[in-house]
A and B are shown apart, each in its own frame.
Chain A
Amino acid sequence: MQFFLLQTLNGLTVGTLLFLIASGLSVVFGLMRVMNLSHGAMFLFGGYVGMSVQGASGNFLLALAAGAAAAGALGWVVQRLFLRTLMGSQFRQVLLTLGVAFVVSDSILWIWGGVPRSIRAPSLLDSSVGLLGITYPTYRLALIALGLLAGLALWLLWERSLWGAMLRACVDDREIAAAQGIDVATTFSLVFVIGAALAGAAGVLGGVVLGVSIGLDFEVLLLAVVVVIVGGMGSLSGAFVGSMTVGLLDSFSRASFPEFAYFTIFAPVVVVLLLRPRGLFGRAVDR
């Protein structure tokens, strides 16, 4: 029972972080049909900026805001200066995002150096609580709650707002959406920036659990890609269900058979691609 509770909480923690990262990746993919391989770099850049701001100010919320803003700004630059000029040429865009990922990652090494750093939890949450006979870090519980809130907020935006409807229309059929008078390019820019900012925020939030270090960008991106493939591209609920599935599966399998940690992450990808190629919640984006 204790084992079950602990692993469930662990799985939800990882799932929450994955959701914050994968939601942006998934929606951008749905809009652009391009896997944004620089998404992990946005995550790490946000984390490092947050770490510096926390070091200077000691304020976690300020660090969180700075991390999100910095990653969002970086996303805006990448989208505006580079991706836009390659609109419609998807392979080049994928390669370009990979290039951006390497450039950002090397710039981080240049600015902050390669010594792994950590972000401290806000003092209010920097403790552990006893819970039905287990000890669990308070910060992680708060993170799970925050993840659920963020999920709810994004879902409302996506399903219940006019802008969300426009967004879904763009994902489903870009040409028709444009013909209806929706400004696809601006919508897309905005989504790209929001996705990057969410990744940056996740970098700060996750930095408390994972630390920030060179290489973390690709580790995280790999998991986010798994989530997007399992959950389905261009779907917010898919990203949510995918994140939690991958998080829980990862947590339980790592505790039970640590040697197969990578197998148990990628096995669901194979199964999903075989049985339901468009992912659990994938929308019919193919033409």
Chain B
Amino acid sequence: MRGRRFAFWGAVVLIVASLGAWGCGGDTASTTTSTAADTATTSVEATTTSEVPGVPIKIGVLNPTTGAQTQNGTDVNNGIKMYFDSIGNTIAGHPVELIFEDDASNPQQGLERARKLVESDKVDLLMGVVHSGVALGVAGYAAQASTPYIVTCAGANAITGADRSPYVFRTAETNAQRNLVLGWYAGTKLGYKKAAVFSWDFVAGKEHAEAFAKSFTDVGGEVVYNVATPLPTQDFGPFLSGIDKSKIDVIYAFYASADAIRFVQQLKEFGFTPDIPVIEQGSLTEDEILPEMGDAALGIVDTTCYAPSIDNPVNAKMKELYAQVKPGSNPGWYVYQGYLGAMVAASAIESLGGDVSDKDAFLAAIQGVTLEGPGGPFAFDESGQAVLSQYLTKVEKGDDGTLVHAIFDQVPAVSQAWTP
């Protein structure tokens, strides 16, 4: 009898442990990536500049620097730090103090650290968060505590949806935003008619797949297969075997991280690619994991608000700054989002001359920000949600044989309610 009981408790411990592990990954388009280099797990870190007159402006930055999203959080923090360093950590004569905290992609920890930033560090502004669950919690708290909050990555539609608080802004896209463009583009410009839609079976997966399906069917396309796979899916073989190749002319997929690599490789192994084109909204061929996919990724089309190859002076500056942080590599989406968020925050503070004591004026100043970011023109819509250009890219082989995203088209000013 004893053996059986141990087996049972062993299984219970295991299930609880693994649910905990998956919980960390349960978020939006963000991938669970990280590289060993420079992922210093410093949870608290302050950058101060002394000998500048004026009241210091405190900005609390909350991002995962431990756990599965360590790399993402570190990238965003780097982007934010890079920008503030580049302006000497001073805005309109006021020193800027960044206070970094680690949310570990855990909603409870995120909330607790947000509280600490607001109540004990007395920050004037909150920024950051990759995980949608954390962001929703922090957004609710920021509204309660009357502290402006700029979401830099998390994609859940609800953050800037109907129940959005006036204290909450987002400089990244919603889960739906890119897919609206992609569905329309696939159905019209690319001329696809019958799609197989693959996504993860959880909230973000549904938001992505539904937004794509809606805009694709609006222009006359048809979703022949709608496959929701568990998070994570180790083997896509069974799901792929259920698809009749002759009935579709395109595959849409929303995956990230390890599942994305497996999906792309297995598409090739099971003979889907290169015959059937694959389209996606950016996370499937994220720059971090693209090299692992090899030639199986060639030809995949995606929409994104940022690619290193975008040609403008702001992006050139950002790439130059990033080359000092991580020599020889290009900034990815997460670095870009951190950098953009910092630009937006700095621009709002600048317009107030550095006086952020009046909350209503501060909120109005953030809402009113328009600027040229590394990805082109930036503005907020009336719900504090970023309006950004979308770029259509295709995975190709670069001159040195590595895989790159080559931009081939562009759709300007895409909002969360975008229609053609």
Contacts and interface: CB of A to CB of B under 8 A. Distances in A.
B162 interface: no
In this complex, which of A110, A222, A254 has the most chain B Cβ atoms within 10 angstroms of its Cβ?
A: A254
A113 B68 contact: no
A3 B228 CA distance: 19
Contacts of A201: none
Contact of A98 (B13, B22, B32): B13
A113 B71 contact: yes
Contact of B39 (A113, A116, A140, A250): A113
How many chain A residues sit at the interface, stated as a range, is 35 or more
Which 7 A-B pairs rank lowest in CB-CB distance, beginning with the nearest? A114-B34, A35-B10, A135-B271, A213-B258, A116-B258, A113-B35, A137-B269
A119 B261 CA distance: 11
12 contacts: A10-B237, A10-B241, A37-B13, A37-B14, A113-B37, A114-B32, A213-B32, A218-B18, A219-B18, A221-B14, A221-B18, A286-B1
B348 to A, nearest CB: 33
A277 B4 CA distance: 7
B282 to A, nearest CB: 16
B214 interface: no
A34 interface: yes
Interface string B303-327: 0000000000000000000000000
Interface residues of B, number: 56
Contacts of A220: 234
A220 B261 CA distance: 17
Interface stretch (A64-72, A187-195, A256-264): A256-264
Contact of A109 (B17, B34, B294): B34
A15 B13 CA distance: 24
Contact of A118 (B230, B234, B241, B265): B265
B224 interface: no
Contacts of A35: 6-7, 10-11, 14
A113 B241 contact: no
Contact of B15 (A6, A33, A222): A222
A120 B258 CA distance: 14
B292 A116 contact: yes
Nearest to B260: A116
Given A33-B2, A115-B33, A10 B235 contact: yes
Contacts of A255: 238-239, 241-242
Interface of A is mostly: helix
A287 B70 CA distance: 47
Contacts of B271: 128, 135
B68 A34 contact: no
A116 B257 contact: yes
Interface in B250-265: 257-258, 260-262, 265
Given A113-B35, A118-B261, A140-B269, 17 more contacts: A3-B242, A14-B235, A35-B7, A90-B6, A94-B9, A94-B13, A109-B34, A113-B37, A114-B32, A115-B35, A115-B289, A116-B292, A136-B270, A137-B269, A216-B258, A218-B18, A255-B238
Interface in B124-163: none
Interface in B3-42: 3-4, 6-7, 9-11, 13-15, 17-18, 21-22, 25, 32-37, 39
A3 B241 contact: yes
Contact of B201 (A10, A90, A259): A259
Contacts of A136: 270
A209 B9 CA distance: 31
B35 A114 contact: yes
Contacts of A252: 238
Contact of A219 (B232, B239, B242): B232
A94 B6 contact: yes
B4 A278 contact: yes
A215 interface: yes
Interface in A116-139: 116-118, 120, 128, 135-137, 139
Contacts of B241: 3, 6-7, 10, 255
Contacts of B33: 114-116
A36 B292 CA distance: 31
B68 A215 contact: yes
B273 to A, nearest CB: 11
A117 B265 CA distance: 12
